[in-house]
Amino acid sequence: MDKRFSVLIENTGERFNCGSNQNLLRGMEVLGRRGIPVGCRGGGCGVCKVHILSGEYHTQRMSRSCLSVEEEAEGIVLACKAFPDSDVTLRVIGKMCKAVNNVAA
């Protein structure tokens, strides 16, 4: 069953709801943020990289060329392939950072 969780974007203090079978990138797009780069949505381009600071999540297959073993071990994921299993706090990093931080400024 699809559960809904609250996701906090640490960069801006914004929250959005995300279902357990909805990927985090889709949730951020629903926020209506202009400038969220639309990449491959398939775990292969790396534009949607985020750092999960707290909370449980699961991921689907992500390309090793975008995400190293070390990054994954630190909680860095590709948002298009990451799904919340609890309320989550994340920090946007990488190419998406500019779009998110522009609005915060």
Contact residues toward ligand FES (CB under 6 A) are 25, 39-41, 43-48, 66, 78, 80
User: Of 41, 105, 53, 37, nearest to 79 (Cα)?
Assistant: 41
The residue sitting closest to ligand FES, measured at its beta carbon, is 39
Q: Give me the least distance between CB of 99 and ligand FES, in Å please.
A: 13
Q: Give me the least distance between CB of 26 and ligand FES, in Å please.
A: 10
Cβ proximity to ligand FES: between 44 and 75 the closer is: 44
Contact 10, 93 (CB under 8 A): no
